[in-house]
Structure 1
Amino acid sequence: MAENDLNQNVNNFLKFVKGLGIFGVLIVLGLYLATGIYVVQPDEQAVILRFGKYVETTGPGVHWHTPSPVAAVYKAKTTAVHRIEIGFRTINPGPPARYRDIPEEALMLTGDENILSVDAIVQYKIKDIKQYIFNLKQPYKMLKDAAEASLRQIVGKNLVEEVLTVGKEKIQRETKDRLQEILDKYETGVYVLNVQLQDVQPPKEVIGAFKDVASAKEDKIRYINEANGYRNDMIPKARGEAEKALNDAAAYKSKRINEAQGDVARFTKLYDKYKLGKTVTKTRMYLETMEGILPNVDKIIVDKNLEGKLLNIIGKEGDIK
């Protein structure tokens, strides 16, 4: 009887252990399957790989995939704007912001063989997470190297004066286009939003010489502007004086022509009268001439037919002389 009870207890214990083992296996299996649960944030996308091969891309939300090592999930922020710094690094965004210069990245050669220190920022987004995950082993390093190479290439095509002044916008645009061309060629899944030149200046060793050159160019421009201003002031005055002289000459010409025509007309009339009475005209002209020559002298006109005869001349007072 005692032996039967012992066997019964042993069987019951074995059944309990067996049941406990199955339950434990189920718990372990459940925990293992739970490791396949993953959450994708609103600004993220996830890529699922099974046995190292691409399976699908999932968006925001709670998802499940076959647990490791069968499958794996890689996530990336596809809506965030990422940033690459060339020539400097941000130590503390501040305020106040603090930066550290990286001369080996910043120093670049221009098209006219001048050296400039160029700091730039590249902003980009992930447009294809599959290409981004599979084709980029070290995404940041690869993108920074491509951005730096593109910027050096474009700066090397421009003169130093263009890089320092009016050519910045063109350089930014061409660098963005060149960088995007490179990234698309290697199917990186990256879209370049913007390239901005933060600080462009000569190296510290030659900045004084560059300032002198800039001052000389400013003086040149100022002198040219002053000369142009003087020219713009004098040319209208000279033109006005020339126009006035031409008008005065035209008026004098017209006056002299009119006077000459009047003299001709008067002479013609005199000549016509002269032809009608030559003796009378000659006498009148003689008397007018003498009156002009001797304006304040008393003059006595004697008929030549009375020459040699005694004449009574009545003066101003009525006396007979």
Structure 2
Amino acid sequence: MPWKNQSGGPWGSGPKGPWGSGPQPAGPRPPDLEDLLRRGQDRLQQLMPGGHLSGFGIGLVALVIIVIWLFSGVFRVQSEELGIVLRFGKYVRDAQPGLNYHLPYPIETVLLPKALRVNTTSIGMTLVEDPARGNRTIMRDVPEESLMLTGDENIVDVDFTVLWRIKPNGAADYLFNIQNPEGTVKAVAESAMREVIGHSDIQPILTGARTATEQAVQQLMQKTLDHYGSGVLIQQVQMQKVNPPSQVIEAFNDVQNAKIDYERLQNEAQTYANRVVPDAKGRAAKIVQEAEGYKQQAVAEAKGQSARFLKVYDEYVKAKNVTRERIYLETMERILGHSQKLMVDGPAGQGVVPYLPLNELTPHRQTPATTGSARQSSGVTK
């Protein structure tokens, strides 16, 4: 029965709101019939000659009272409200913004929840008046709501707000299915945030995973409230502050700075390795290639010399004397071809004194001009 959420039932004290929410504005309260009748009789008795009412007077009074009673069903729904019409305490229809009419009390009553207003619920913080600042309203942390345990067994301080409103066509569920809408939304929000935080590590929560966390909390809240049939629509979850607890925030910052330095040094080392290793590999490949080229050159020269020796040997077998003399001449030409020579014509001892030219035997550097002139002055006399 919907009367279970109405304080005092549908009759007697007029329409009431959901549990804990107090009476809802329902337009002007219908006047008490007995009181109207008594006042009307007194007024007519004053107007009637002799102070006595006739049967016509009594009927006129009753007619006026009935007209007033019928017109008491007129009510206005404001732009942000939605009218919920109850007949003997049972929901029958919605009333849209503007002038509307319901059967007079106590047959029908109307509730006017703020169906189009966006409500804000804060978790982990609350507004209080500060006497030291002239009773100005300030924001104060509520640690018992904001301290949460993460999946990697760290404690994080989370303050967040929830924006919500009544669902379209959900005003009846909002009024009759939950006792305290604001308290219910707050409890569901805190429970959902603790569940999401409990399955997450602290580092992503503090850095780049806020949007994903907010979306996960919003989806979990909406699922839970729909299961309750609350008629509440969660529009947005906003994380205001996400920090380690104040008691350990300095040590936590030191740890985070150490991690940042570690990652920076690791990146620098990797950059240095990326620069040095390819250079070393390139030089190693160059040395290997040079060694391979030298190997091929040495092998080719050895093969060429061996082939030349075999050819010379074949010629030597055919003509030993000629080949021996040829080898001697080629050898002397190779040895004496780049040395300085002085040829003396005539018999020895006639005007020429042999001596040992020590200066000529000492190696010395010559300029190109000196070398050219020496070549021009030196010669071979046959």
Band of TM-score, shorter chain = 0.7 to 0.9
Report the more deviating stretch, 140-149 or 61-70: 61-70
* Residue type at the aligned position of 2:91: Y
Query: Do structure 1's residue 194 and structure 2's residue 236 form an aligned pair?
Result: yes
- In structure 1, the partner of 2:97 is 60
Distance across 2 between alignment mates of 1:97 and 1:169? 29
TM-aligned CA distance change 1:30 to 1:263, over 3 Å: farther
Query: Do structure 1's residue 229 and structure 2's residue 229 form an aligned pair?
Result: no
- In structure 1, the partner of 2:345 is 317
Report the CA distance between 1:135 and its aligned residue: 0.6
Report the CA distance between 1:183 and its aligned residue: 0.6
TM-score w.r.t. the length of structure 1 is 0.79
The DSSP-based 3-state class of the residue aligned with 1:48 is strand
- In structure 2, the partner of 1:213 is 255
The DSSP-based 3-state class of the residue aligned with 1:205 is coil
The DSSP-based 3-state class of the residue aligned with 2:199 is coil
Moved >4 Å (runs of 4+): 11-21, 290-299, 318-321
Report the CA distance between 1:14 and its aligned residue: 8.2
- State which of 46, 69, 81 in structure 1 corresponds to 2:118: 81
Distance across 2 between alignment mates of 1:120 and 1:27? 57
Report the CA distance between 1:199 and its aligned residue: 0.4
- State which of 85, 90, 103 in structure 2 corresponds to 1:48: 85
TM-aligned CA distance change 1:298 to 1:45, over 3 Å: closer
TM-aligned CA distance change 1:287 to 1:142, over 3 Å: same
- In structure 1, the partner of 2:109 is 72
Query: Do structure 1's residue 129 and structure 2's residue 182 form an aligned pair?
Result: no
TM-aligned CA distance change 1:319 to 1:166, over 3 Å: same
Query: Do structure 1's residue 153 and structure 2's residue 195 form an aligned pair?
Result: yes
Distance across 1 between alignment mates of 2:104 and 2:341? 151
TM-aligned CA distance change 1:270 to 1:162, over 3 Å: same
- In structure 1, the partner of 2:141 is 101
- In structure 2, the partner of 1:172 is 214
Deviations 1:6-27 (A, max 9, x none): xxxxx98789765554444333
- State which of 196, 211, 225 in structure 2 corresponds to 1:183: 225
- In structure 2, the partner of 1:111 is 151
- State which of 37, 49, 53 in structure 1 corresponds to 2:74: 37
* Residue type at the aligned position of 1:80: R
* Residue type at the aligned position of 2:103: T
- In structure 2, the partner of 1:245 is 287
TM-aligned CA distance change 1:17 to 1:264, over 3 Å: farther
* Residue type at the aligned position of 1:120: F
When the two chains are superposed, the root-mean-square deviation of aligned CA atoms in Å is 3.1
TM-aligned CA distance change 1:243 to 1:98, over 3 Å: farther
TM-aligned CA distance change 1:20 to 1:102, over 3 Å: farther
The DSSP-based 3-state class of the residue aligned with 2:290 is helix
Distance across 2 between alignment mates of 1:244 and 1:297? 42
Distance across 2 between alignment mates of 1:76 and 1:112? 43
- In structure 1, the partner of 2:22 is none
- In structure 1, the partner of 2:328 is 286
TM-aligned CA distance change 1:298 to 1:116, over 3 Å: closer
* Residue type at the aligned position of 1:59: Q
